[in-house]
Homo-oligomer: A and B are copies of this chain.
């Protein structure tokens, strides 16, 4: 059994891909999270259907996150 938060813990300091409710994709290094699945990414790239751009560090509110791929 792999608890969802345990997999986040294992993903610390690794690159993850987040899908957000507004259908943007963020790819960055996961450097922190809390029990609400709020997350901190570094060296983040944001991808939409139109473009890709670097956005550096970002704090994500967990309730906007659909899925996280380690």
- Residue-wise, chain A 48-60 has the 8 Å CB interface mask toward B (1 for contact) of 0000000111111
Q: Are A58 and B64 in contact (CB under 8 A)?
A: no
With an 8 A cutoff between CB atoms, is A43 at the interface?
A: no
Q: Which residues, 17 to 70 on A, are CB-close (under 8 Å) to B? A: 20-23, 26, 31-34, 37-40, 55-70
**Number of chain A interface residues as a range:** 35 or more
- The docked-state distance in angstroms from the alpha carbon of A38 to that of B62 is 12
Contact A2 B32 (CB under 8 A): yes
16 intermolecular pairs with C-beta atoms under 8 Å apart: A1-B12, A2-B32, A3-B32, A4-B33, A4-B34, A4-B39, A4-B40, A5-B34, A5-B38, A6-B32, A7-B57, A21-B64, A22-B66, A61-B63, A64-B66, A64-B67
